[in-house]
Structure 1
Amino acid sequence: MAIDASGVKIEDRPFDQVRQEAIDQLIMNYSHGIISAEAFERRLDVATDAKSHQELIDVVADLTLLPDHQYQQQRQRSFSPRYQSGNDTRNEKMLCVLSSNQQRGQWLVPAEINIINVLGSVELDFYRSGFPAPAYCYPGK
């Protein structure tokens, strides 16, 4: 029975959290050249399909490099929404008929987007976009 750094049995921790930690450890070891691309892909498949805590423990058991503070900060920046001050309530309408529309780069996501697409395509890239801060971020609203 494995116990993590906090003293909690690994089997008592939330499964999705343990899975994410195993995946982070695989990414860290692959990015530092400790395991090959083939090993990373194979182990990532195992971690993704794992049904038990023990499978996750086994897939990273021989890897000693753990995600550091810098990795955690980069991961947080990459996967966290970017809120901007202000309460943007504007609505945006897109009409694409036999055409395409793309929204990429830095842009403020409106409160509502209505898209009508007839034999066309619309691509919305939210990677660098900013979101209006939710109303609960402003006292009194």
Structure 2
Amino acid sequence: MIRRTAAAAMLALLVAGCGGGSAVSDLGTVVKGAKGSTVRAELRPGQRFSLAVADNPSVGDNWDLVAVPDPKVASFISEEHESKGEGVGAGRTTYFVFNSKRPGTTEIRLRNCWRCGQSTTPPNEESRQQSGEAVFSVTVH
């Protein structure tokens, strides 16, 4: 009877920990970047980390991972979003979550294609001017 109760309690804790609408509850070390910037990140092997960018889809922001990093140095886990408020146009933060792997250096590029919709190419001059990349130089020691 005690074993069943303990097993049920552990199962309830596991299920409760998976809530919140997010695939990943641990963002690890958060490294903030922005359009037009290059940021360095120094990590240990096996360390979870997230690359964070301010985002506002209601005005046309759309961040995506340009290319996966060197898989020997870091592996992509997921893309997560955290809202900054309840109101329309409040904005959010987008997190690209990774695990560091072996020692080495890799570059991770995130692209904001402003008002591009489903396209990966800016549709007009204004979109080209507002679009840009955030670059992260990741070193695992």
What TM-score range do you get, normalising by the shorter chain? under 0.3
| TM-score (structure 2 length as normaliser) | 0.24
Question: Larger relative contact order (C-alpha < 8 A, sep ≥ 6)?
Answer: 2
Higher helix share: 1
TM-score (norm 1): 0.24
**Counting strand residues as a fraction of each chain, which structure ranks higher?**
2
